[in-house]
Structure 1
Amino acid sequence: MTDYLDLNRANWNDRAQAHSASPDYRVEEFVRDPSYLSQVVRFDQPRLGSVTGLRGVHLQCHIGTDTLSLARLGATMTGLDFSPAALEQARALAARTGAAVDFVESDVYSARAVLDGEFDLVYTGVGALCWLPDVKRWARTVASLLAPGGRLFIREGHPVLWALDYDRTDGLLSITEPYFETSEPQVYDEAFTYVATDHEFTHTVTHEWNHGIGEIVTAVLEAGLVLTGLEEHQSVPWNAINGRMRAIGDGEFQLADRPERLPHTYTLQAVRPAV
C-alpha cells in the first residue's frame, strides 16, 4: 500500500499553487498591507495574547499565511511542512513581504530531528491533526520542541464536525464517520478543495484520521504538558458544510439552523512545566 505520507503530500503539492492564487488566502492583501493578519490568527489573538519576542514554530504551516501573521505580531517564526510545493509558496510570500521567516521541510513526527533548539510557542492551525495517524506521537513531538515554560496553542476542527455526514439534505446532524482514532485511515477521493479555485486536481486520494477530544487531551497530558485552556467554538473558518452554513463575519461560518447543536472548532492550550 502506498504510504499515507506520499499520498497526502501529493495531494497538498497539488493544492499549494491553487491555494496561493485563491482569493480566500488573500496573499495579495498580505503583500499590499504590512499590518494584515490572516483571519485565523485574528480569531486567535485574544487567546494568544502577546507573542512579541517569542521563538515560535508553526507545525503544518502550508503556504505560510498564519506563520507570517504570527511573525507580524512580533514572534520569531519557523514554519514546518511536508509539502515542498507549499513551502515554495510560503517562501515566495515571505520574500514578497520582506518577512524574516524560516521554512523547513519535514513531516511533523520528524520535526525534532530537523529543528534546532527549543521553542516558546508551538502553534498549529485548523485542519492539521486529521492528517496524522497517532495523536499521542504528535503530542510527544510537541513536548520535545517546547522550552521549559513554553506553550502549545492549537485551534482545530472539532472531532464531532469531522465525523458528520456532509451529504444529508434533511437538516439532521448525523455522525457517520469515526469520532475516535482508528488504526486504519479514512480514505477519501475528492477532486475539490476548501477554497475558491478553478484548478483541476489530479492527486485526489487522501488518508485521514479523526481524534476524539478526550484522546487529544490525554495525549497532551501524557506527554508531560499542563493543560491551561480548552474552549469549544460555534464557528469554523471555512464553509464546512456546503449549503447549511452562514457567514458570520471575519471569515467565520456557523451552522445556519440552531448552531448550538454543533461544536464547530476548539482551542486547546498547554504548557511545558518550567521545572
Structure 2
Amino acid sequence: MNRALWDERAPAHAASPDYGLARFVDDPEHLSDVVRFDLPRLGDVSGLRGVHLQCHLGTDTLSLARRGATMTGLDFSAASVEQARRLAAAAGPAVEYVHADVHDAVEVLGAGAFDLVYTGIGALCWLPSVERWAGVVAGLLRPGGRLFLREAHPVLWALDDARDDGVLALRYPYVERVEPDVWDEDGTYVATDVRFTHTRSSTWNHGLGEVVTALLARGLRLTMLQEHDSVPWDALPGLMEDVGGGEKRLREAPWRLPHTYTLQAVKEADPAGVRAG
C-alpha cells in the first residue's frame, strides 16, 4: 500500500516547485534545504562512502555527493529511484541509486560497507520497527562509521494537525505500536494539482527514547542529539510561519513544541552479543 502511494507521487513531487529539481541542474553548488540546515552539525563528509536510506527523489543524496561524499541512495519505490537517477544524470555528480526495501539494505549493499548512513526528514514513520531499522544501520556501518539522522519529532507526529485554534492537542500515538495509523488522503505535502488514486497509507510513530535505545542496543554510541523549533514543511497548516531556509515554525509560542531533531551516533567496534542485522 505504501509503495503504491510513493510510486504514484514521485512524478508529481519531481514536477513540483517545492523540490526545485531545476535548481540542482542550473546551479552545480545548490544544496537541498534539509542538508543545508544541518551543515554545521554534519561536518566534512569529503571522501566518505555514504548511503542515504529511503532517499526518495535523491535531492539530499545528491547534496551530500556535492559535499564530497561518494553516495549511494536506496528506496523501495521504483518510480522514486527513476526520478533520482534522472536528476543525478542531469545535475551531477554521479550517484548510485538502488531499488530495494530498506530492510534488505545490508544484503543488497554489503555489510560494513559505509562510513556514513544518512536518513532525512519523514523516513522513520514509514517503518513498523525502529529496532529492526537500527539493526540495518549497524549492519551497513563499518566500525567507526556514523549515522546522521534528521527527523520530524515524535511529539509533532502525535499532534492533531487538523486543528486551527492554536491548541496543541495530542491525538495520535507517541510511542511505537504494532498496529499502524492508517490514513486516506488524496493530496500530498508539496504544491501540485494532481489528485491521486492511491490514497491509503500506514505509518508508525517512534518515541525519541525508543530510537536512542534501539541504536544503543546495536552497538552505536550517541554523539549528538539536538531538538529544533522548525520543520521543513507546513506541518500544522494555518499555525506556522516561514523562518527562512525552507523552514517553518509554530507562529504562536514556538517554544511549546519540539518540531524536529538531529541525531548522530557512531558504531563502536563490534561488542560481544550485539546483533547487527
TM-score bucket (shorter structure): over 0.9
Q: What is aligned with 2:87?
A: 93
Residue 122 of structure 2 aligns with an amino acid whose one-letter code is G
In 2, Cα distance between equivalents of 1:274 and 1:52: 23
Residue 131 of structure 2 aligns with an amino acid whose one-letter code is K
Residue 36 of structure 1 aligns with an amino acid whose one-letter code is H
CA shift digits 1:184-239 (9 cap, x unpaired)? 00000011111111111110100000000010010010011000011000000011
Q: What is aligned with 1:67?
A: 61
Question: Which of 208, 211, 214 is the aligned partner of 2:209?
Answer: 214
Question: Which of 71, 79, 85 is the aligned partner of 2:73?
Answer: 79
In 1, Cα distance between equivalents of 2:252 and 2:35: 27
Partner SS for 1:111: helix
In 1, Cα distance between equivalents of 2:3 and 2:140: 23
Within 5 A, what are the aligned runs for 1:96-115?
96-115=90-109
In 2, Cα distance between equivalents of 1:62 and 1:241: 23
Question: Which of 8, 12, 23 is the aligned partner of 2:6?
Answer: 12
In 2, Cα distance between equivalents of 1:274 and 1:184: 35
Structure 1 segments unaligned to the other structure (5+ residues): 1-6
Alignment of 1:175 with 2:170, yes or no, is yes
Partner SS for 1:248: strand
Partner SS for 1:227: strand
CA shift digits 1:52-104 (9 cap, x unpaired)? 00000000000100000000000000000000000000000011113210000
Within 5 A, what are the aligned runs for 1:96-245?
96-116=90-110, 118-245=113-240
Q: What is aligned with 2:275?
A: none
In 2, Cα distance between equivalents of 1:64 and 1:123: 12
Partner SS for 2:57: coil
Partner SS for 2:63: helix
Cα offset, 1:168, TM superposition: 1.5
In 2, Cα distance between equivalents of 1:171 and 1:33: 39
Cα offset, 1:274, TM superposition: 4.3
Residue 42 of structure 1 aligns with an amino acid whose one-letter code is R
Question: Which of 236, 242, 246 is the aligned partner of 1:247?
Answer: 242
In 2, Cα distance between equivalents of 1:22 and 1:169: 26
Does the 8 A contact of 2:223 with 2:266 survive in 1?
A: yes
In 1, Cα distance between equivalents of 2:88 and 2:194: 24
Cα offset, 1:273, TM superposition: 1.3
Moved over 2 A (4+): none
Comparing 20-29 and 92-101, the one that deviates more: 92-101
Residue 156 of structure 1 aligns with an amino acid whose one-letter code is E
Does the 8 A contact of 2:62 with 2:92 survive in 1?
A: no
Q: What is aligned with 1:55?
A: 49
Partner SS for 1:24: coil
CA shift digits 1:106-131 (9 cap, x unpaired)? 11111111103510000000000000
In 2, Cα distance between equivalents of 1:177 and 1:83: 26
In 2, Cα distance between equivalents of 1:56 and 1:15: 26
Comparing 161-170 and 258-267, the one that deviates more: 161-170
Cα offset, 1:169, TM superposition: 2.5
TM-score by length of 2: 0.96
RMSD between aligned residues: 0.8
Residue 99 of structure 2 aligns with an amino acid whose one-letter code is E
Residue 112 of structure 1 aligns with an amino acid whose one-letter code is V
Residue 87 of structure 1 aligns with an amino acid whose one-letter code is V
Residue 93 of structure 1 aligns with an amino acid whose one-letter code is L
Structure 2 segments unaligned to the other structure (5+ residues): 271-277
Comparing 213-222 and 95-104, the one that deviates more: 95-104
